[in-house]
Amino acid sequence: MLAGRIPRDDTRTGAGPPGVGASAHQSHAVATRRGAAVRPRARPECLLEPVEWRFVRVSTTTIIGLVAVIGAACGLGAAGVAGSRHGLVARYYSNPEWTGAPGAEGRDQRITTGALDERVMAIPEAADGGFSARWQGFLQVDRSAVYRFTVVAEDVAWLYLDGRLRVNNGAYGPSEQTAAVSLEAGLHAIEVAFVSHGGDYTLELLWADGPGPVEPITTDRLFPTRTAWRAYDALWGQAYLWPLTGSLFIFVGFWWWPLRHVARHCDTRADEPDANRILWLLLATSFLLSVVAIGWGLPQPITWAPDELHPIDVTDAVAQRFSGGWHLKYPPVQLYLLTTLYAPFFVAQWFGVVDLTADLTHTALFMLARLMSVAMAVGTVYVVYLCGLQLYTSRRAGLAAAALV
């Protein structure tokens, strides 16, 4: 009976054309048999992906710790090298006329009777017949002032500064001579000549930069050459630069992952080049507008911004071990981040390399904190853009992010 005949179900047998009455599973099977490429479902973008390195996988915390240790070690090693170059070039002769080859020579940290004893012991023939010595190098003066130099000698001694005779202690026997010399801040050539005609001897070089008592010239003021002084000034005199380098490495470690995330985001949306360019433009504009006045109010110890977190706030938090009395302007997380960023400075201070209250060091800490705030501002713009992208189109996401720039 034709009227009661059940029509053949082409969708069930797969005879019908795919996509017309066919199930999704069957259409997929047909497309697969024909060799058509099946586009996988797009994986939702994850905002918190681990940082993948090309050769190894290593946590950001480990990187930050290693950089902090390396930065502090570099600062301490450089400071030690510079500190070992102090003193004056010394030459000792086995006669009282500074003639012939020196019987002993080297670098003396100070000009004292004790230093003479150690050197003269290496020249046996000088004990009876007398000896002579000469020290040459440079004296560092921090500020322009009138300095008093005193030479205590037995037998005779002379002090030259910048090639001019300043103290003439030429009287035989124990004597003390003092001269006032006006010196400009900087490096000055210094030379001391001494003669002993045998018997007991004494030599002390003292100075004072005011009306107070004279005292020995400390080792850190004396340099054998100008090159040694330049090395000291670069490595020790500007010691804050070494922990600052370590802190900058830590800063890069902090923000390496966000930068990689922006790059991956643009790769996943390669079909929207205009939107990617707008995103980079927004981030760059935010950075430039924030960093242009990063030195505002510095190097004053107390800045003009009433809501700024000062380096002393961070050091106080570390001293209190981040416990009790959080009445500061920012939550503890900000202090944790800055403490990690300041880690090379804390290590350098613990070893006595830097003083956190010194002008340049204090300014460097301020700049690091502000640089962290700038990076957070740029990161906030990016997060707003991603949130807008989840809710709306890339154009509307760009408008939302632009409102924060």
pLDDT of 27? 46
pTM given for the model: 0.50
Nearest to 366 by CA among 356, 354, 353: 356
Rg of the chain, C-alpha, whole Å: 37
Q: Do residues 297 and 368 both lie within one domain?
A: yes
Q: Are residues 156 and 254 in the same domain?
A: no
288 shares a domain with 178: no
DSSP per-residue letters across 108-130:
ESS-SHHHHHHHHTT-TTHHHH-
Q: Are 223 and 85 in contact (CB under 8 A)?
A: yes
Alpha helices in 320-358 (DSSP H): 332-341, 343-350
Domain boundary among 223, 252, 268: 223
Q: Is residue 82 part of a domain?
A: no
Measure the CA–CA gap between 298 and 99, rounded to whole angstroms. 57
Q: For residue 359, what are its two tokens?
A: 């002008």
CATH code at 206?
A: 3.90.182.10
Domain boundary among 196, 223, 250: 223
Do 255 and 355 reside in the same domain of the chain?
yes
Position 380 in a domain: yes
Q: Is the same domain home to 288 and 215?
A: no
If asked whether residues 321 and 361 sit together in one domain, one would say yes
* Structural domain containing residue 123: 88-223
Low-confidence ranges of the chain (pLDDT < 70): 1-85, 124-129, 171, 173, 234-237, 299-306, 324-329, 352
Answer whether residue 51 is part of any domain.
Answer: no
Cβ-defined contacts of 302-310 (< 8 Å, 24+):
303/366, 308/369, 309/334, 309/335, 309/338, 309/369, 310/366
Is residue 359 in some structural domain?
yes
What's the number of domains the chain is made of? 2
pLDDT of residue 41: 45
CA distances from 87 to 75, 207, 218, 222, 223 (A): 22, 16, 9, 5, 5
Q: Does some domain include residue 219?
A: yes
> What is the per-residue pLDDT across 254-281, written as a single tens digit (0 to 9) for each?
888 888 899 999 999 999 999 999 999 9
For residue 95, what pLDDT is reported?
A: 86
339 neighbors 318 (Cβ within 8 angstroms): yes
Shared domain for 246 and 283, answered yes or no, is yes
pLDDT of residue 85: 67
Nearest CA-CA partner of 75 in 286, 351, 397? 351
**One domain for residues 335 and 213:** no
Report the pLDDT value the prediction gives residue 50, as an integer from 0 to 100: 43
Residue 384 and residue 251 share a domain: yes
Same structural domain for residues 162 and 303? no
pLDDT of residue 106: 86
Residue 180 β-bridge partners: 148
Give me the residue label for tokens 């003439």.
Answer: 168
Q: Which H helix or E strand runs over 368?
A: helix 359-391
Domain-embedded: residue 368: yes
Q: Torsion angle, CA of 293/294/296/300, rounded to 10 degrees?
A: -170
Q: What whole-number distance in Å separates Cα of residue 105 and Cα of residue 87?
A: 13
pLDDT at res. 321: 77
Same domain, 214 and 270: no
Q: Is residue 184 part of a domain?
A: yes
Which residues share a beta bridge with 159? 167, 192
Final residue before a domain boundary, out of 189, 223, 257:
223
DSSP code, position 237: I
Determine, yes or no, domain membership for 40.
no
The residue whose two tokens read 């997380």 is: 333
> Residue 300 has what pLDDT?
67
Same-domain status, 289 and 395: yes
Beta strand pairing call for 186-196 and 131-141: antiparallel
